[in-house]
Amino acid sequence: MHQPPNVRLPPSHGELYGPRLVVTAFCWTASGALLVLTIGARAAAAVTGTTWFGPDPAWSEASGLLSDTLGTVAMGVLPVLILLALAFTVSLEAVHPRSLPPWTTREQLRKARVLAGNAVMGDDPRINLLARVHAGVHVRSAGWLLYRPALAGHLVIFGVMSGSGVPLLVRGLSDEDPALTAIGLNTALLFAGFAVLALALAPRRRRMREFCALYDAAHQRVAR
């Protein structure tokens, strides 16, 4: 009787990254949702507070209370969520399991990340191959950010976007508006975090590019 080939399926996200990936996804999702809700509540409060919206002050009071409540929560919770999300993103260096060899385990991936991040070859050919695949994915995703002029432009753009939150923060503090304060604070923090993230990862991505070149050169010599 014909037996189908034993095809090994790729590992799951949980097998490779454990609960840290779930925590990272939660932090990004929760921070994004809370920021959007705060912006929406502040916009609703601004609309209902205008004279043309209607004579009933209940709408204005309710939307103002919701805006202040969400703003207060966002001021305390959002910075923590954003910082955790950025920190876990850096530490995980997640790659989709389908982009990796199907035999990859969490321990092998940990060793491969060390080799790729230090641009050195190891003694195990399988770990070297995994490190080459892992590094190749990150080098391709980094793209033009591997070049210093492009990285500088990236930092300038995110610096400007981060600075756009400062006027909102100042106005929110002067008006004692929790929602506007939270929006300004977390806008500045989020885009500043993206800039720092790119700056912090750039040297490691360059070492990964060096590892790819080292691995490819070694295999070209073997092929000859």
Least confident of 53-62, 134-143, 193-202: 53-62
Over residues 1-8, mean pLDDT: 47
- Of residues 56 and 66, the one with the higher pLDDT is 66
pTM of the model: 0.82
Average pLDDT along the chain = 88
Tell me, what's the pLDDT at 192?
A: 96
Give the model confidence (pLDDT) of 113-156 as tens digits: 999 999 999 999 999 999 999 999 999 988 888 888 988 999 99
Give the model confidence (pLDDT) of 25-52 as tens digits: 999 999 999 999 999 999 988 887 665 5
Domain extents in the chain: 14-94+110-223
DSSP string, the chain: ------PPPPPPHHHHHTHHHHHHHHHHHHHHHHHHHHHHHHHHHHHHTSTTS-S-HHHHHHHHHHHHHHHHHHHHHHHHHHHHHHHHHHHH----GGGS-TT--HHHHHHHHHHHHHT---S-HHHHHHHHHHHHHHHHHHGGGGSHHHHHHHHHHHHHHHHTHHHHHHHHHHHT-HHHHHHHHHHHHHHHHHHHHHHHHHHHHHHHHHHHHHHHHHHHHHH-
